[in-house]
Chain A
Amino acid sequence: MSDQPDELRICPNCGQANALYTLRCIRCGEELEGLFALEGFESLSEPAGKEPEEDLAPMADILASLDESPLLADENKPEEESLEKAGGTEDGQPEDGKDDPDWLERIRQRAKEEEDAAGALAMGGIALDDRRSHEGRKQVDEAFDEIMRRIREQNEREKARRSRRVESDLVDENGDPEWLRRIRELHPNREDDSQKIQADASVTDSLDDEWTEEELQELLRREIGLPETPDEEAEETITQEVPTPLLPTDEHKPSLSEPIAENFEEEVLQAEPDPEDFHNIPEDDDQTLKNELRDDLPSDEVEETLLADENQTEAALEPDLEESAEPDETLVNEKDGEPVEALELELDSEPEEVSPDLLLLRNQRDRASVFTDIIGQEGRRTIAVLREHHHQSKIGRLVLGLLLILGVILAILLGPPGSVDLPSPAPGMSFAENLNSIDPDEAVLVVLDYQAASRSNIEPLAARTMEILEEKGASLHLVTSNPENLWLDPNQVPDDFIPAGMLGYLAIATGASSSWGEMPIQQALKGDLDLFGEVDQVILISDSAEFVRMWLEQISPWQPRIKTSVITTPVSGPILLPYYDSGQLQGFVAGLADASNLDVEPQTLINQRAYQVGMLLMIVILLLGMITKADEDSQRRAEEQNR
């Protein structure tokens, strides 16, 4: 802060108080006159105690000091300025300039006395400063904005390219990417250039993957017009001023500190003799055109392959229709709604030398057509329905059902019930052997878990098993966790209902008895609290292989001494076979076909003639379905080949 408020300069135009060194009013911008008061060389603000300057400095020294003045000094020399300030501070002079140096007071005094000379001198300095500040800053700003704009554009292209890299990597049989083929179509006689572009594109891809400091320096050097092989000093400066974190991203825009900006100005001022490098208009020569195409077409392809991406999604969701994914590549070429042949003919009919402006227009037209397609697809279904509802399938289902019912009815009504002599499977034989090995004093736990729909397959076998066990005198205990089993078969009424399904069985099977008394789950048991305590055999009567598997996983490990066997449906038979092979199951009977193992003739349980007719009908239908499907596939392939 100033100790001498009278040192402020009052603007004659608006009355704003300005700093002493201010050349223009900070409020209205009016040039402040009377700065160089050279008359007398005595500072008005000098304290009374101070001694005046002894000698009058010559004009050459004054001019030399003007060059060293921080006001008129080049703004691109912050280090010198800071050094001067530091020196001034060390000398005990104030930094804010309120305590004027002697030479400046002398200049002011002289300017007051010699108004014309001082004004001319001041005007020259101001004009020089204005010119340098305005033009230099403008050019620097333009160059910097141009650099940042190009970096942002390249970054956006890279983002789009990465998001669609899979699509953009579509190559033909020669290994050429799609965008390169399009360039070749546009430049039919410039194959060499295309190859070069391809090579450049690969280099560009690799460059785009990651920006290194050298690449950034090269880019800066090219943009601000520095020579290709700058000296070490310039390179070092650029390396310092443009660090890698300045990579253009939308979230983190690069911010230059003041020294960085000033060094940019310095670089641009050095490059001022070649101002053509700073214009925004692209070069209209072949190389620039190729570079533009190299940059534009892949991103263009990304937009175009949006449609192909949707088709690929449909194909992924509908694996049965693999052919639907094939038109993806043609879709890119048919973006204008024209067939591929027509597009190629159109390209072939064009003159060999296509003007760059025409190419750009075509590029724009392609983009417009892509946008038109995208807009036109709004509101349409982009993902194919997984299964189309055909009226034919409903009619076919009706015919099939009626045919099956008719065959079964005719087989029941006409002819004898028939007989069957099937070989006994190993699990069924093991089940019967295990059942016969039960001693009269053994306790058998029977667990019911089946639905009403499968009672035809299960209840005859269960009833026979109960009969055998009763004949042997074994003690039976029927439990269930399925409420339906409480009222399905009056002859198999469960003794206990175990809630919570498998978790309820697990809580009892763990056998943990609490010291504080009876657990709530134990109240489900009427008599003996230990459900598995005296049990030697467990027979699961279930239509679900999942229930059996859960029992073997949850209950059997806790009660390893208990033998387990199963009465189930034919559906569960194949799933339970591994557990029988591993010895976890003593055996199982699956459906009425295994009834012979329990000394029951299947024909007494169900009409075998109807069963055989139904199986025969299903076999015929399956064969016809396979033949029809194969015929349809062959016809489709033939049509595709013809197409």
Chain B
Amino acid sequence: MNTVDLLLLLAGLILSLMVFSYLLGDTLLFGIAMYTLVGITAGFTVVVLLQKVILPMAISPLSALPQTSALLALVPLVLSVLLIWLLFKKSSRLSGIPLAILGGVVAAALIVGVTRGTLVPQLLSIVNAFDQNKMTSGGLPNWTGIFEAFMMLAGVVAVLFVSHHRKINKNQDANAYSWLDGIKGFGQLFIGITFGAIFVGLFSTGLVALIAYIQYLIDFVRLW
């Protein structure tokens, strides 16, 4: 191990301990570590964007003027200038132009994407679960497939009903529709299982990271 690697390991050790100081609260050491991370990341990002985006995509094409591609390259450049102008005059109407274009494009892409990429495929998946080929196996009922199909349908309906029934309960007597409470509880069961799985995954991810860094620190100490 050369000196550079040793210094990097030492810096990593110190920064890791500074991050661990968050157990004592939002201390100065934790703040220094966070600001160091943010500052280094921001600086690196600026360099990357200058090298890979701004210069090759916004500035270099201007050298080909008056070709069409160069003229078109003026469009993002002007929009970028208008966005920068927003830093100096927040109420500028011209600065709203690039924001409006960006917002409109993102909204349109999201709506189309959600429809094509999530809603339709998921609905077809539920419908296909009731396919006869999936519900039978060798001429006999495939009970596993049948159970999965009905559980999938029941889960979707029950979870959708949770939010709907929550609104109803505000205006109506809770005892009037007790059977609806049963469906609501069924949906909450699905939601609880989902959140439980996500929590386990979150803790597992954090625990693996914790073990990895502690292992790193122990290995560093064992070097001595």
Contact = CB atoms under 8 A, between A and B. Distances in A.
Interface of A: 394, 397-398, 401-402, 404-405, 408-409, 412-413, 453-454, 456-457, 483-484, 486-487, 497, 499, 503, 506, 514, 516-518, 520-521, 523-524, 543, 549-550, 552-554, 556-557, 569-575, 578-579, 581-584, 590-593, 606-607, 610-611, 614-615, 618
A606 B210 CA distance: 11
Contacts of B211: 408, 412, 456, 606-607, 610-611, 614
Interface string B179-212: 0000000000000001001101111110111111
A581 B58 CA distance: 43
Contacts of B52: 497, 499, 524
Interface in B99-127: 105-106, 109-110, 113-114, 116-118, 121-122, 124-125
Nearest to A552: B117
Contacts of A550: 113
A137 to B, nearest CB: 54
Interface in B7-52: 20, 23-25, 41, 44-45, 48-49, 52
A409 to B, nearest CB: 6
B interface majority secondary structure: helix
Contact of B44 (A456, A487, A516, A549): A487
A556 B117 contact: yes
B190 to A, nearest CB: 12
B61 interface: yes
Give the interface size class of chain B.
35 or more
Contacts, number: 155
A614 B204 CA distance: 9
A517 B69 contact: yes
Given A552-B117, A606-B212, A503 B201 contact: no
Given A402-B23, A614-B211, A520 B58 contact: yes
Given A483-B48, A557-B116, A574 B73 contact: no
B54 to A, nearest CB: 9
22 contacts: A401-B23, A408-B214, A409-B214, A456-B211, A483-B48, A514-B69, A520-B61, A520-B73, A520-B76, A549-B117, A549-B118, A552-B117, A553-B116, A554-B109, A554-B113, A570-B205, A573-B197, A573-B201, A574-B201, A606-B215, A611-B211, A618-B203
B210 A582 contact: no
B207 to A, nearest CB: 4
A557 B218 contact: no
B72 A591 contact: no
Given A516-B72, A570-B205, A591-B204, A578 B125 contact: yes
Nearest to B68: A516
Contacts of A456: 208-209, 211-213
B194 A574 contact: yes
A240 B220 CA distance: 99
A575 B194 CA distance: 8
B218 A520 contact: no
B141 interface: no
B106 to A, nearest CB: 7
B57 A570 contact: no
Nearest to A617: B207
Nearest to B198: A574
Contacts of A543: 205
B53 A499 contact: yes
Contacts of A570: 200-202, 204-205
